[in-house]
A and B are shown apart, each in its own frame.
Chain A
């Protein structure tokens, strides 16, 4: 097995003295999709934001333990967090497009990091949008406002924007939970395509999605009032698939599950949630 690109060891996160995550250890390798599942409020997004040091932008969070990127601790003094974030891209739950054109959105990061010639711009637009599978839908209106795209297209635009920086790792924070089934399918297909050259860390609520696209899943639970790693394993491995539908992980944190229920919104989302809830009641 190749050396892990990301090696998280004993990661402990506190927010204003409240323990959020307790000693989580995880590895992510190239060519692999690492899934992180668990009930809401368990600290999945917090974990994700610690990996590219986005967490420091929010006041009050403290991170202990190591996160090694290619064997190098990202909290070392010589690491520039902005450079780190270029190499570890991030996709959010709600697509965030900037109020400008499609082309400018794609080049938003890249154009500010280095001078781009005209042909370079075109090439980068082409390759990023193709990799995000958006090229054919927008190639004739690159200079239209990005706000006019559908929400699914906007999410792929965000993906293209991150890909324009050619990151090695892409962190995805429930990237499909705001999307309809068709748009979800497009994103899942992109995840599977991207893993050939990159490493993807995917936080998801959707157990089916975890089964479909991940190569390795880590389940976080909140049994003791804070997030802990329950297990990590191959999703299709017998033990893991049993665990994926295991109930205690979800049921043990009833308040969180209730919160799950109250935040149910979209169609696809609802299906996933109901699956979870029925799993709970079965236990």
Chain B
């Protein structure tokens, strides 16, 4: 029954992609096209404000929408201070925790520790905001009483809360990059009579540190974009800029971040007025650019890990 065909073969023409492939590609393309479309729409609606105010938005700290002043500097300052401070507080704890989980904790306990970290990551931001309102705000006001803050709603409170929120993110990614260093290298180092601490310092950390910086940048990106929790405890006071960049006074005063502005009632109010609406959308674009920057840099570093081709 298996006779070989003779002579020249008639080839089937290259067929068009079958239905499954076509559907997949079409759905993927549709999704990307919609994304592109909304981005264009966004920029178009932001355009009136960019054209009218342009660079002034980045250099002026005055935001009075009734007088058509749209300076975003105070919010950029608020976002930068809150998220950088949060990272400064969270990163050492996160790195130490990651090192402990990856290098010291016995294998059998590791999943439990990771589950606790994941639990922290899974808690919705509105719950963190609630905890901030119920506890942190009061604690911070009591603790900083010598400096006589107006209330517990201040940049520093937001930074502390945000530190707790980005802690699991940084820990998880830092732990991943530590784990990516092959176990065989650790064994080899121990075989050369290095103790565990030396192995961590000479073998593991030199290879994992780009990934750990990447983890910190991802945490920064996450912190910049966090809205609800920050919104609830930052006081949302416009136009607070310090005398100089290192002036600590605004830390214990209420302030505003890009996200707390965007999440506030002004966004709804702005919708009717093209200029005001455009200014709000421009804030969104600034936020998008900043998070994109840090997250792509962070991902780049995470992938730079030598053990992670």
Contact = CB atoms under 8 A, between A and B. Distances in A.
Contact of B11 (A72, A131, A166, A197): A72
Nearest to A74: B11
Interface in B1-27: 1-5, 7-9, 11-15
A116 to B, nearest CB: 16
Interface string A60-80: 000000000111100011111
A93 to B, nearest CB: 24
Contact of A71 (B4, B8, B14): B8
B8 A198 contact: no
B11 A80 contact: yes
B4 A72 contact: no
Given A30-B4, A71-B8, 11 more contacts: A69-B9, A70-B9, A72-B9, A78-B13, A78-B14, A80-B11, A83-B12, A131-B2, A166-B2, A197-B4, A198-B2
A80 B4 contact: no
6 contacts: A77-B14, A78-B13, A80-B13, A80-B14, A127-B1, A197-B2
A79 B11 contact: yes
Contacts of B7: 70
Nearest to B3: A197
Contacts of B13: 78, 80
A69 B14 CA distance: 16
A30 B12 CA distance: 22
A246 interface: no
A79 B2 contact: no
A25 B153 CA distance: 80
Contacts of A127: 1
A25 B52 CA distance: 71
Contacts of B15: 80
A131 B2 CA distance: 10
A188 interface: no
A269 B106 CA distance: 40
Contacts of B9: 69-70, 72
Contacts of A83: 11-12
A72 B15 CA distance: 18
A168 interface: yes
A26 to B, nearest CB: 19
B4 A79 contact: no
B14 to A, nearest CB: 5
Contact of A72 (B1, B5, B8, B14): B8
B8 A79 contact: no
Nearest to A69: B9
A78 B11 contact: yes
Nearest to A196: B2
Nearest to B7: A70
A70 B9 CA distance: 7
Interface in A178-203: 197-198
Nearest to A72: B9
A198 B4 CA distance: 7
Nearest to A197: B2
Contacts of B1: 127
A22 to B, nearest CB: 29
A80 to B, nearest CB: 5
Contacts of A78: 11, 13-14
A9 B218 CA distance: 54
Contacts of B2: 131, 166, 197-198
Interface string A237-261: 0000000000000000000000000
A51 to B, nearest CB: 15
Contacts of A80: 11-15
A80 B2 CA distance: 22
What are the 5 closest A-B residue pairs judged by CB atoms, nearest first? Answer: A197-B2, A80-B14, A70-B9, A83-B12, A80-B12
Interface string A114-157: 00000000000001000100000000000000000000000000
B1 to A, nearest CB: 7
A78 B13 CA distance: 5
Contacts of B12: 80, 83
